[in-house]
């Protein structure tokens, strides 16, 4: 029986979905260039001051020009992606503004470490150290102080499309159960990337002990895909090497401490084994370092470590303080296991893959030039939702948010769009779809233990999805190897879940409903991942995706691969977008 639910209608000039790194700075910049009369709304599924990928803090900003030019930074990013095509136009626009953005955030209260001469304390060529435990509250305050209207704890499920334009979105209150209908003259999606696609190493209560933020569940990608936007980069998933068990970042150990990766024999293999020296040695691209770790383990030279005993002794002493700014669980782990990184190396592990666009991978929506607008009119993206422009990290994502804010205001001034009218029948249908898992649960019969007899819980469907992706789409237990046969099995099983099994997905309450939509979105991301990896018949990102049937690089695929989803056939059509190299030089070499 359908329940009459209270509706909340919201109208905005700029509607931002996701109150994270990009969303907050987009709201701030839009206010600066758009004026006081601009109505800016942010919908955030958690609480904006302590949500998103920054919620635990960070101890460094990994995009900053300590030297060189914006072109040099783009050259480095291109090199770090093994010379693969990247959106150099977008990356240049970010690199030109990132230092200004960092200085602005320092004025807002971000503590940045300094050298004796007053300059920022660098950690490598493109990084600076910070005390970032309050990184997210500082970022959120940028949006709050500009009087953006923030709706916390609203889980956005879908975009509203009217006559081939995006006019808003719908969702539900995770606490109040209301149905939210929001319209915007322009809409920006920046709700993070996707974790939890593959089976995590930890099980049970530890299944969220992974590297990437576990509550970013692919909503950005799924919503853009379902709205008809061109998508790209889902063959460039990120596989990070992290500290074992806690999955904390190892860059603090490698760049900050000078600790090399070593195998069980004590070899600093990136610097000592010829096969890895040819690939770039200890400064090899990120995917290559993952590949080297995996090969050492496959060849029974593991376990592997970050050898902090070889690091800078003075800096090793400050390790715990640095991790308290970012990954306090690691400090607790060291304490309870009596681990002293000055006396023993730190074991490392390859984490389960994540789908991201602002870290060292390229997933997201295709955008028109530097506009940050997708191929769907009025729909903008930033942060992890923006494809083809990797390695923006925090400071680059702040900057990308600012640039998106400027672009949206420019669009409003130039096009002068009006709010789109919504068909009441369409809104009713969207509401029914949003709450369908709750309605199905209410119609269920139950076993004596309380489980529904004729329904599937979000946890059960998520576990099935993760097992399929792990075993047939190159998970960690498969050392990230895939081939066409396995991808065909993954396609068949994932599509069966999406097309036949979702009708049985049930939710007992609003919390379960959020988990249900998380798995719905993840399954849409699975389709993108399987099809994009299968289409690119080469191994362009060794370590991230290792195709045993196409182990080499094929110049035929030296381009951007984009796809569009057809809702009538539930299939993806693929396109090849030409790569425009703006920064001259060998793409597999750095300029600095």
Q: Encode pLDDT of 564-590 as tens digits.
A: 999 999 999 999 999 999 999 999 999
For the chain, give the percent of residues with pLDDT over 70: 99
Mean pLDDT for 365-388 is 97
Mean pLDDT for 149-172 is 97
Mean pLDDT for 424-449 is 93
The pTM (predicted TM-score) of the whole model is 0.96
Q: Is the pLDDT of residue 30 over 70?
A: yes
Give the model's pLDDT for residue 3. 65
Element (H, E) at 14: strand 7-17
User: What is the spatial distance between Cα 57 and Cα 299, in angstroms, rounded to a whole number?
Assistant: 36
Give the model's pLDDT for residue 446. 86
Give the model's pLDDT for residue 367. 98
Q: Is the pLDDT of residue 311 over 90?
A: no
pLDDT level of residue 429 (50, 70, 90 thresholds): very high
Q: Is the pLDDT of residue 168 over 80?
A: yes
Mean pLDDT for 223-231 is 98
Domains of the chain in start order, with CATH, are: 243-350 (3.90.700.10), 451-577 (1.20.58.100)
User: What is the spatial distance between Cα 86 and Cα 95, in angstroms, rounded to a whole number?
Assistant: 14
Q: How high does pLDDT run on average in the chain? A: 94
Q: Is the pLDDT of residue 313 over 90?
A: no
**Percent helix / strand / coil, the chain, rounded to 5:** 40, 20, 40
pLDDT level of residue 1 (50, 70, 90 thresholds): very low
Q: Encode pLDDT of 457-506 as tens digits.
A: 999 999 999 999 999 999 999 999 999 999 999 999 999 999 999 999 99
**How far, CA to CA in Å, does 14 sit from each of 79, 182, 419, 495?**
36, 11, 11, 35
Mean pLDDT for 103-124 is 94
Give the model's pLDDT for residue 2. 56
Q: Residue written as tokens 């984009």?
A: 562
Q: Encode pLDDT of 176-220 as tens digits.
A: 999 999 999 999 999 999 999 999 988 777 788 788 999 999 999
| Distance in Å from the first CA to the final CA of the chain | 65
Q: What DSSP string describes 250-290?
A: SHIIIIIT-PPEE-TT---HHHH-HHHHTTTGGG--HHHHH
| Residue 355 DSSP one-character state | B
pLDDT level of residue 258 (50, 70, 90 thresholds): confident
Q: Residue written as tokens 């803090």?
A: 57
Q: Is the pLDDT of residue 13 over 80?
A: yes
Mean pLDDT for 411-418 is 97
Q: What DSSP string describes 40-68?
A: EEEEESS-GGG-STTTT-EEEES---SSS
Contact between 461 and 518 (Cβ < 8 Å): no
Give the model's pLDDT for residue 211. 86
Class of residue 6 by CB neighbours under 10 A (exposed 0-12, middle 13-18, buried 19+): exposed
For the chain, give the percent of residues with pLDDT over 90: 85
Q: Residue written as tokens 């149905």?
A: 179
* Conformational region of residue 2, where left means phi above 0, alpha means psi within -120 to 50, and beta covers everything else: beta
């Amino acid at each position: 029986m359908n329940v009459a639910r209270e509706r909340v209608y919201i109208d905005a000039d700029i509607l931002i979905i996701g109150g994270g790194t990009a969303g907050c700075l987009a709201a701030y910049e839009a206010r600066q260039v758009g004026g006081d009369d601009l109505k800016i709304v942010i919908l955030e599924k958690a609480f904006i001051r302590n949500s998103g990928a920054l919620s635990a803090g960070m101890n460094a900003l990994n995009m900053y020009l300590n030297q060189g030019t914006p072109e040099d930074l783009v050259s480095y990013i291109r090199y770090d992606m093994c010379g693969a095509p990247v959106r150099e136009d977008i990356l240049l626009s970010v690199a030109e503004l990132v230092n200004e953005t960092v200085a602005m955030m320092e004025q807002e209260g971000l503590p940045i470490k300094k050298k004796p001469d007053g300059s920022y304390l660098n950690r490598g060529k493109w990084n600076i150290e910070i005390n970032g435990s309050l990184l997210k509250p500082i970022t959120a305050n940028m949006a709050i102080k500009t009087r953006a209207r923030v709706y916390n704890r609203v889980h956005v499920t879908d975009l509203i499309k009217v006559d081939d334009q995006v006019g808003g979105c719908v969702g539900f209150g995770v606490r109040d159960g209301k149905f939210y209908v929001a319209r915007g003259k322009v809409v920006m999606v920046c709700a993070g990337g996707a974790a939890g696609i593959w089976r995590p190493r930890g099980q049970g209560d530890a299944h969220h002990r992974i590297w990437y933020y576990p509550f970013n569940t692919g909503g950005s990608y799924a919503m853009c895909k379902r709205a008809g936007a061109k998508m790209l980069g889902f063959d460039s998933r990120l596989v990070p090497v992290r500290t074992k068990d806690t999955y904390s970042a190892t860059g603090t150990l490698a760049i900050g401490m000078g600790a090399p990766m070593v195998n069980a024999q004590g070899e600093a293999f990136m610097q000592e084994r010829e096969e890895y020296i040819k690939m770039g040695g200890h400064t090899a691209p990120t995917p290559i370092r993952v590949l080297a770790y995996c090969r050492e383990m496959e060849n029974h030279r593991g376990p592997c470590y970050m050898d902090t005993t070889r690091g800078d002794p003075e800096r090793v002493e400050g390790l715990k303080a640095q991790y308290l700014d970012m990954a306090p669980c690691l400090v607790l782990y060291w304490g309870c296991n009596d681990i002293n990184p000055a006396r023993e190396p730190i074991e490392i592990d390859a984490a389960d893959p994540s789908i991201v666009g602002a870290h060292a991978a390229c997933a997201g929506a295709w955008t028109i030039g530097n506009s940050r607008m997708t191929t769907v009119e009025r729909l903008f993206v930033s942060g992890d939702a923006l494809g083809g422009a990797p390695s923006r990290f925090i400071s680059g994502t702040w900057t990308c948010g600012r640039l998106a804010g400027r672009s949206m205001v420019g669009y409003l001034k130039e096009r002068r769009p009006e709010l789109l009218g919504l068909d009441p029948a369409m809104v009713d249908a969207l509401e029914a779809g949003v709450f369908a898992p709750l309605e199905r649960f209410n119609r269920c019969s139950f076993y004596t233990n309380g489980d529904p007899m004729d329904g599937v819980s979000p946890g059960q469907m998520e576990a099935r999805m993760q097992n399929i992706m792990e075993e047939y789409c190159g998970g960690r237990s498969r050392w990230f190897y895939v081939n066409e046969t396995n991808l065909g099995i993954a396609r068949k099983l994932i599509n069966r879940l999406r097309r036949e099994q979702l009708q049985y997905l049930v939710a007992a309450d609003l919390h379960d409903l959020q988990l249900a939509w998380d798995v719905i979105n993840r399954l849409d991301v699975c389709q993108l991942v399987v099809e994009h990896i299968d289409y690119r018949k080469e191994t362009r990102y060794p370590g991230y995706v290792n195709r045993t049937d196409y182990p080499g690089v094929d110049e035929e695929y030296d381009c951007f691969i984009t796809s569009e989803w057809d809702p009538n056939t539930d299939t993806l059509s693929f396109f090849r977008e030409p790569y425009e190299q703006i920064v001259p030089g060998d793409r597999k070499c750095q300029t600095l």
